[in-house]
């Protein structure tokens, strides 16, 4: 799967987001090394601390489906923003827990442009267990 296909999967997920408070739907598509794509959406709660981001939804779903640390190949994140939409700091740290520093992270904007970064670009001084 190429980055455009992965991003289209993330974009299509936005309509499934539960974002009644922020009105800011986000979709994520997580590509696993076996070729499987697991999607995620943000799920809000009136108590914002109980909200879960699309990126973490995808990662946690992968873990619940039996995937392990190191099984992740790339992630695409899509919102409807003028600029590229990066993951929040909590999501960056969760990505650092399960993904290699050089894993591609694809971001998009309302013009459907795709910016390719690595996890290390997003979180250069990640707190990790150093086992990967």
Catalytic residues: 55
Measured CA to CA, the distance from residue 95 to residue 11 in angstroms comes to: 20
Q: Could you give the 3-state DSSP secondary structure of residue 108?
A: strand
Say if residue 99 carries a ligand binding annotation: no
The distance between the two most distant Cα atoms of the chain, rounded to a whole number of Å, is: 39
The side-by-side arrangement of strands in the sheet containing 27-32 is 37-41, 27-32, 72-78, 104-108, 114-118
Residues annotated within a binding site for Zn(2+)? 53, 88, 91
Residues annotated within a binding site? 53, 88, 91
């Amino acid at each position: 799967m190429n980055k455009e296909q992965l991003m289209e999967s993330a974009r299509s997920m936005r309509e499934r987001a539960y974002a009644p408070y922020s009105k800011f739907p986000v979709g994520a598509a997580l590509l696993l090394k076996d070729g499987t794509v697991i999607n995620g959406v943000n799920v809000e709660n009136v108590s914002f601390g109980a909200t879960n981001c699309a990126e973490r939804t995808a990662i946690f779903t992968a873990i619940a489906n039996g995937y392990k640390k190191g099984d992740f190949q790339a992630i695409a994140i899509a919102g409807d923003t003028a600029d590229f939409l990066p993951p929040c700091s909590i999501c960056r740290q969760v990505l650092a827990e399960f993904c290699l520093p050089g894993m591609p992270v694809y971001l998009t904007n309302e013009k459907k442009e795709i910016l390719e970064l690595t996890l290390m670009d997003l979180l250069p001084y990640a707190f990790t267990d150093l086992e990967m």
